[in-house]
């Protein structure tokens, strides 16, 4: 009997988190150490899945299918392909770093905080593994509960407003997605099996209805313009770990939903709605970048930059060609690494200064030179400097969008210029100029904080210098996805020669 690796990945952190409730709440050191050990073991459990993964096939691997609610033909069904496997590793890493950055930052209800983090990890991994639509929806909704608590209990002074806004936006989208799931069940042979649903013929009218039902949930989660306004508030009020998880994993769920459901199950509607989706993506890129220039709060600036960067992701996905799709998926990983690293760094400096107002900063390059070096690397990766991970993803996205609609690539390129403007200007204001009053005598990063940031630095250069380490997982699965959409894979010879030496 084979080991249920995916179920282990899902339920180990959930059960591990619940086991923390056995420890007396006053033993905070023990709780933190246990949470860290659980998250590290979870990360190690992901490694054999990645190493044993067969890149030569698009077929779902490590499958687990068990009857669940037989009256409705609902199964407990799990599986991963070349698209979802990368997100398992990213999620596990993000949780480890979130625990480390919360080590001293969380001082109240410590036990409950780490329980919520670990339960959230299991639910997020469940989203990436589910191949039954009903099971997917269960995990999709389950992950919102601990995230709601993390922002609402351990967030900033306006946390209630931010949490309610986050809840209402996601609730409305999720309810419309539920309607879409029921419609799909009724018209797809009374099954919730995602693989079977993707092979059924649907009328264009039904596909368009379903596309917009799913769009309501996935666009909010990305978030796409104009349903993005919950994100800056959630990021601003969330604790550092909450912001890292939001940026690193949670907002990727929306783009993943488009990949897993909208494109393969609703191919005709996807092609019909391609141009509107490209337009919305370009608006998000430019709008998010321009709004960043007006921000005075560190976290709000990075939050709006996420709107712009995720616009690049959806631009690549709806270019509907090999370059665009691979670039979009790669950029989802890159954004999780770079923006997650920026929120980690902001959380560390906030612990020392207790302010996020950019105007209060200045001269940190002289008071915290090691921190300044880390932040510079993250800044350069965010603007897509060649050699960093941000470059190759944006390059493929622009190449794919140019192949599809050249004008979208031209306009989107302005987002790169604006991105360099607001990020370098931010760096200049924080780390140079005169040392502001609150910045005197700041303590340099300690060993725990350095160890938290180092994995992100390694990933930035590893992906940037050897992108095929990740792209190798995507080629076959993306090609199959394109076959499902319109039967054509459009890999160009120039980049192929670079990526497949």
Per residue in 220-267, pLDDT tens?
Answer: 888 888 888 888 888 888 888 888 998 888 888 889 999 988 899 999
Q: Are 449 and 105 in contact (CB under 8 A)?
A: no
Confidence band of 500 (pLDDT split at 50, 70, 90): very low
pLDDT at 169 over 60: yes
As a whole number of angstroms, the distance between CA 43 and CA 95 comes to 9
- The alpha-carbon radius of gyration of the chain (Å, integer) is 22
As a whole number of angstroms, the distance between CA 228 and CA 231 comes to 6
Of the candidates 195, 329, 178, which has an alpha carbon nearest to the alpha carbon of residue 258?
329
Rounded to two decimals, the pTM is: 0.89
As a whole number of angstroms, the distance between CA 115 and CA 36 comes to 11
* Choice among 135-139, 235-239, 319-323, 469-473 with the minimum mean pLDDT: 235-239
As a whole number of angstroms, the distance between CA 235 and CA 301 comes to 10
As a whole number of angstroms, the distance between CA 425 and CA 358 comes to 11
Residue 1's DSSP bridge partners are none
Q: Are 189 and 145 in contact (CB under 8 A)?
A: no
Helix pair 389-404, 406-431: axis angle to 10 deg: 160
Going through 306-390 in order, the beta strands assigned E by DSSP cover: none
Tell me which residue has tokens 């040392």. 435
pLDDT at 493 over 70: no
Of the candidates 260, 389, 413, which has an alpha carbon nearest to the alpha carbon of residue 336?
389
The string of pLDDT tens digits covering residues 28-86 is 999 999 999 999 999 999 999 999 999 888 889 999 999 998 888 899 999 999 899 99
As a whole number of angstroms, the distance between CA 355 and CA 309 comes to 25
> In the predicted model, what is the mean pLDDT of residues 452-459?
94
Judge residue 333's burial from the number of C-beta atoms within 10 Å of its C-beta, 0-12 exposed, 13-18 middle, 19 or more buried: buried
> In the predicted model, what is the mean pLDDT of residues 108-115?
92
How many other C-beta atoms are found inside a 10 Å radius of the C-beta of residue 444? 13
pLDDT at 492 over 60: no
pLDDT at 103 over 70: yes
Residue 366's DSSP bridge partners are none
* Choice among 85-99, 110-124, 354-368 with the minimum mean pLDDT: 354-368
As a whole number of angstroms, the distance between CA 494 and CA 5 comes to 38
Tokens found for residue 114: 């780490």
Judge if the upstream peptide bond of residue 226 is cis by omega within 30 degrees of 0. yes
Helix (H, G, I), strand (E, B) or coil at 79: strand
The string of pLDDT tens digits covering residues 429-442 is 998 878 777 777 78
Tokens found for residue 55: 């890149």
Judge if the upstream peptide bond of residue 65 is cis by omega within 30 degrees of 0. no
Residue 74's DSSP bridge partners are 69
* Choice among 1-15, 110-124, 325-339 with the minimum mean pLDDT: 1-15
pLDDT at 365 over 90: no
As a whole number of angstroms, the distance between CA 495 and CA 278 comes to 22
As a whole number of angstroms, the distance between CA 278 and CA 402 comes to 11
* Choice among 91-95, 281-285, 482-486 with the minimum mean pLDDT: 482-486
Give the chain's mean pLDDT.
88
What pLDDT does residue 487 have? 55
As a whole number of angstroms, the distance between CA 394 and CA 65 comes to 37
What pLDDT does residue 251 have? 85
As a whole number of angstroms, the distance between CA 454 and CA 18 comes to 30
Q: Among the residues of 354-467, which ranges form H helices?
A: 364-367, 369-382, 389-404, 406-431, 447-465
């Amino acid at each position: 009997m084979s080991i249920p690796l995916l179920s282990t990945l899902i339920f180990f952190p959930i059960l591990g988190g619940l086991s923390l409730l056995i420890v007396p709440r006053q033993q905070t050191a023990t709780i933190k150490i246990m949470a860290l050990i659980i998250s590290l073991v979870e990360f190690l459990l992901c490694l054999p899945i990645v190493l044993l993964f067969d890149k030569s096939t698009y077929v779902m691997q490590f499958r687990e299918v068990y009857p669940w609610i037989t009256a409705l033909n609902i199964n407990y069904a799990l599986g991963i392909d070349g698209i979802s496997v990368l997100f398992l590793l990213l999620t596990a890493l993000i949780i480890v770093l979130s625990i480390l950055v919360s080590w001293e930052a969380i001082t109240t209800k410590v036990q409950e905080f780490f329980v919520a983090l670990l339960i959230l990890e299991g639910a997020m991994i469940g989203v990436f593994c589910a191949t039954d639509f009903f099971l997917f929806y269960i995990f999709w909704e389950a992950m919102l509960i601990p995230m709601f608590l993390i922002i609402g209990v351990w967030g900033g002074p306006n946390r209630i407003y931010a949490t309610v806004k986050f809840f209402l936006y996601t609730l409305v989208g999720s309810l419309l997605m539920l309607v879409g799931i029921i419609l799909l069940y009724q018209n797809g042979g009374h099954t919730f099996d995602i693989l079977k649903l993707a092979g059924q013929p649907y009328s264009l009218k039904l596909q368009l209805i379903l596309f917009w039902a799913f769009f309501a949930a996935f666009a909010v989660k990305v978030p796409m313009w104009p349903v993005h306004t919950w994100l800056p508030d959630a990021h601003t009020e969330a604790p550092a770990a909450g912001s890292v998880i939001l940026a690193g994993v949670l907002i990727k769920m929306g783009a993943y939903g488009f990949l897993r459901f909208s494109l393969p199950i609703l191919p005709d509607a996807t092609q019909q709605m391609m141009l509107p989706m490209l337009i919305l993506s370009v608006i998000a890129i430019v709008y998010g970048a321009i709004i960043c220039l007006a921000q005075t709060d560190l976290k709000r600036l990075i939050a709006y930059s996420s709107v712009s960067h995720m616009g690049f992701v959806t631009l690549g996905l709806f270019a509907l060609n090999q370059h665009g799709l691979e670039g979009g998926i790669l950029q989802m990983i890159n954004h999780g690494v770079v923006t997650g690293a920026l929120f980690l760094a902001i959380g560390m400096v906030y612990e020392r200064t207790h302010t996020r107002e950019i105007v209060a900063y200045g001269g940190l390059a002289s008071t915290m030179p090691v921190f300044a070096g880390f932040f510079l690397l993250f800044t350069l990766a965010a603007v897509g400097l060649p050699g960093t991970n941000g470059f190759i993803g944006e390059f493929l996205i622009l190449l794919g969008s140019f192949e599809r609609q050249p004008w979208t690539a031209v306009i989107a390129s302005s987002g790169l210029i604006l991105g360099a403007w607001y990020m370098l200007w931010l760096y200049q204001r924080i780390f140079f100029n005169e040392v502001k009053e609150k910045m005197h005598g700041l303590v340099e990063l300690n060993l725990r904080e350095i160890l938290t940031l180092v994995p992100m630095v390694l990933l930035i250069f590893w992906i940037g210098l050897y992108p095929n380490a990740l792209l190798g997982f995507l080629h076959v699965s993306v090609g199959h996805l394109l076959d499902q959409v319109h039967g054509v894979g459009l890999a160009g010879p120039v980049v192929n020669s670079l990526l497949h030496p």
